[in-house]
Chains A and B, each alone.
Chain A
Amino acid sequence: MSRPVLVVGGGPSGLSAAHALAAAGQRVVLVDKADRLGGAPILSGYAKLVPSGEWARDAIGGMVRRVETNKLVEIRKGVTVKSFTGSPGDFRAMLSDGKTVEAGAAILCTGFTHFDSVNKPEWGFGTYPDVVTTTQVEQMFSSGKGVRCPSDGREPERVAILLCVGSRDRQIGREWCSKICCTVSANIAMEIREALPRCNVYIYYMDIRTFGLYEDLYYWESQEKHRVKYIKARIAEVTSDGKRLLVKGEDTLVKRPISIPFDLVVHAIGMDPNIDNMTLSAVFDVKLQKHGHIEKASTYSNMSESSRAGVFVAGAATGPETIDDSIAQGQSAAMAALALVRSALLEAAE
């Protein structure tokens, strides 16, 4: 019998890879540094997902249960990998709990880290309680409490969503587009308008990138059906007059700077490389690309390969990624890993 495949990270891509491998009869050891599976959608309390509209706890929770009840998947929660030695088909992983896992291959499904808005102090996060992140708004919905101003619990009448917070910004070394924030923001804006019909929602953008099929379902529908206003302007500062937040921007039509009052300002935060990527790079001996994400060996011939043979990578570990594409990449990496361990098994039998 072939050695198990080590899947590192139990978010959408890791759950998908583990399930796909087990479905093909392959044993899997799934490790996660958190004490529960599900990754960002579960740990950060996402609400309704794009594009299905399903609640994260149902959609991703279902993936968690599917893997947790599979006898071929051995789950180690609350542990990290300390060393990873050997060669394809014959790896040995030392875990932080002192145990060892012998694995035929590994798949890094280590995901991303949400951008910390404190790194853009001029936009008021950490200074004003009513400046929040998209993740916090997701939590307001998923907790059932609804969108309220944290300062006094009132229902906001004017909400500003600032796009590209921690993305497309050379000043803070984030030169990438985080890919999902435009669509997520349009989704959140529609949810706010549904929950609080008297509330006006404005989205401040540089470009709108509701790519692919999200154009009409999110960008257009948020305007046509939900009257969300899109304003092309990057906000310079968020301040306060003591009562409301003041958002300072440029009215690009008349080329004049303006200050606009808001009750709630939402940062559409981007996806940073996982803060553990330097450690992961050293432990698994895989290269990181220029921005600090795990480098893919090939774009076309074997998209799941990392720079080290036998170590595969999937999902947001390689760069900003959607949940559904992460799931697809998890399956893709499972196929690549499966091919490796099966061929190693055949060679050993000969």
Chain B
Amino acid sequence: MTSGVVSERTAIGDPVSNAPVVAYEKLEEVFEDIRAHPLFDHELHGCLNCGICTATCPSAHYYDYSPREIVQLLWTENLEGVYDAMQEKIWSCAQCYTCAARCPFENSPGGLVMIMREVAIKHGMQSAKDVLRPFSRVLLKVISTGNQLAPNMITREAFPDWGPNVAKVDAPLNILRKAIPVPTMHTMDTAWEVNLKTSVELYTIWEETGVLDQLETIDENLFDVVSDVMDEKRDEYNEWLEEQQE
């Protein structure tokens, strides 16, 4: 670039929207994070614009969401469109991957949405915060115990926030769980009671894989709570170790 010439990139904005203007550099940064994802080239090979993904997509029936549009935005490197889709649309995907099973090019629109969600979280987008807020209790349980719930916990009393529909669950879940043809370690009674060593190992995984960083970006309060739980468990574990040495 010629010295002295400053490239003036005007920020991109929607003239009929009140949404704050997003700097072009920010759009580039977000897109580059998506494209640099190790799975990106595996999920996107090109696009014939045939629409079989959208035709088969259950979410497209109910929401303003089209997997073909997601693929096209990424393939044509439409930075504004990609950023815009991350504000709401990507959270409509149910991650069923029927699109990937049908695409004649073997693209995976569902996989691309997964990447976009990761990047939305990394950038602390408000859409990610809004979507995940109702799940803070689930997140707390999954992160602190490694699992969310056991079948016998699904009762109206245990989940008042799930609304009246939870009362309709009257299947013999304990029996059904025993019919699962893989070992379930009989966790139905002990789902939230996790071995100390397992817990500590789990926390290491959360830290090493960046899950905790993501949580801190998205929900600082929950991060604080989880950190307290982790510290507590680690203290307990260290105490137990010391006891063993004595």
Contacts and interface: CB of A to CB of B under 8 A. Distances in A.
Nearest to B48: A206
A250 B50 CA distance: 8
Interface string B18-56: 000000000000000000000000000000111111111
A39 B207 CA distance: 67
Given A168-B104, A171-B106, A255 B52 contact: no
B48 A235 contact: no
B51, B66, B69 interface centre (most CB from chain A within 10 Å): B51
B105 interface: yes
B66 A234 contact: no
A98 B75 CA distance: 59
A164 interface: yes
A169 B101 CA distance: 11
Nearest to A163: B50
B55 A234 contact: yes
Contacts of B60: 250, 255-257
B103 interface: yes
B104 A255 contact: no
Interface residues of A, number: 22
Given A168-B104, A170-B104, A236-B102, A252 B56 contact: no
A207 B105 CA distance: 14
Contact of A236 (B48, B55, B105): B55
Interface in A254-299: 255-258
B61 interface: yes
B50 A255 contact: no
A164 to B, nearest CB: 7
A62 B69 CA distance: 52
B54 A250 contact: yes
A258 to B, nearest CB: 8
B66 A250 contact: yes
B56 A171 contact: no
B57 A257 contact: yes
B57 A232 contact: no
B104 A236 contact: no
Contacts of A164: 104
A257 B66 CA distance: 9
Contact of A234 (B51, B61, B106): B51
Given A255-B68, A256-B60, A257-B61, A170 B52 contact: no
Given A170-B104, A171-B106, A252-B49, A236 B66 contact: no
A252 B68 contact: yes
A169 B52 CA distance: 12
A171 B66 CA distance: 21
A164 B56 CA distance: 17
A14 to B, nearest CB: 33
Nearest to A248: B55
A221 interface: no
A296 to B, nearest CB: 26
B51 A249 contact: yes
A256 B50 CA distance: 13
A257 B54 CA distance: 6
A233 interface: yes
A171 B54 CA distance: 17
Given A164-B104, A168-B104, A235 B52 contact: yes
Nearest to B104: A169
B49, B55, B61, B66 interface centre (most CB from chain A within 10 Å): B55
Contacts of A255: 54, 60, 66, 68-69
Nearest to B106: A170
Contact of B104 (A232, A233, A234, A237): A234
B104 A257 contact: no
Contacts of A236: 52, 55-56, 102
A255 B49 CA distance: 11
Interface of A: 122, 164, 168-171, 206-207, 232-237, 248-250, 252, 255-258
Closest CB pairs A-B (n = 3):
A250-B51, A234-B50, A236-B55
Given A170-B104, A237-B55, A257-B57, 18 more contacts: A164-B104, A170-B106, A171-B104, A207-B48, A232-B51, A233-B55, A234-B55, A237-B56, A249-B51, A250-B51, A250-B53, A250-B60, A250-B66, A252-B49, A255-B68, A257-B54, A257-B60, A258-B55
30 contacts: A122-B102, A164-B104, A170-B103, A171-B101, A171-B102, A171-B103, A171-B104, A171-B106, A206-B48, A206-B49, A206-B50, A207-B48, A234-B48, A234-B51, A234-B55, A234-B104, A236-B55, A248-B55, A249-B55, A250-B52, A250-B53, A250-B54, A250-B60, A252-B51, A255-B60, A255-B68, A256-B54, A256-B66, A257-B57, A258-B55
